Amino acid sequence: MDGSYYENKVILDIGCGPRGSLEWASMALRRIGLDPLVKEYLRLGASHHRMEYIDAPSENIPLKDAECDAVFSFNSLDHVEDIDQTLSEIKRVTRPGGIFLLLVEVNHPPTDCELHQLTPKKLVDSLKPEFDCESLQVYKPVANGMYQSIHADEKLPHPEDTTEIGYLSSKFIRTTYICS
């Protein structure tokens, strides 16, 4: 997806971290990083980034219904406390026709930091009927982590049904809006 897609769009990065994850999106109307550690990030210098930070958990996103054109969750979804509530909030804030881009480790047992064992099938099913899965890949892990694994491009077969530990990369399109 080239940068022109994001022109005049509202972009939300869930679990954005302290490094200015959306500074690249200068063409966007609004760039929002959501993270429950924002106060600490601002103390570390994040206030100098060309994006807005919101200090809130993903289970309670302080944005209007259908406000976002694009929602990202890169290496953060398995860290949230309540997966179902987070996915409900992603559905709520993503406008019809908007996208949800997801990168997350799948099929690993829970740890102290990554609280959930996510499977590709569960994620796809949990986002239905509001989202259609446009693309989904699961990459075999390499020694240096998620982004290096995706770059190595060793895809696991049958990604939605795989039970092997790997890194899921997916794009979902918001198809419907159901009032709650």
Q: What is the pTM of this model?
A: 0.94
Q: Which CATH superfamily includes the segment(s) 3-174?
A: Vaccinia Virus protein VP39 (3.40.50.150)
Amino acid 122: pLDDT: 96
Tally of CA atoms within 13 A in the half-sphere of 137 that contains its CB:
12
CB 118 within 8 A of CB 138: no
Domain ranges, ordered by start, for the chain: 3-174
Q: What are phi and psi of 34, to 5 degrees?
A: -110, 130
User: What pLDDT digit, counting tens, does each position of 60-98 carry?
Assistant: 999 999 999 999 999 999 999 999 999 999 999 999 999
Distance CA 156, CA 91 (A): 28
pLDDT at 106 over 90: yes
Which of 123-127, 137-141, 144-148, 154-158 comes out lowest in average pLDDT? 144-148
Distance CA 101, CA 1 (A): 11
| Run of H or E including 35 | strand 30-35
CB 133 within 8 A of CB 103: no
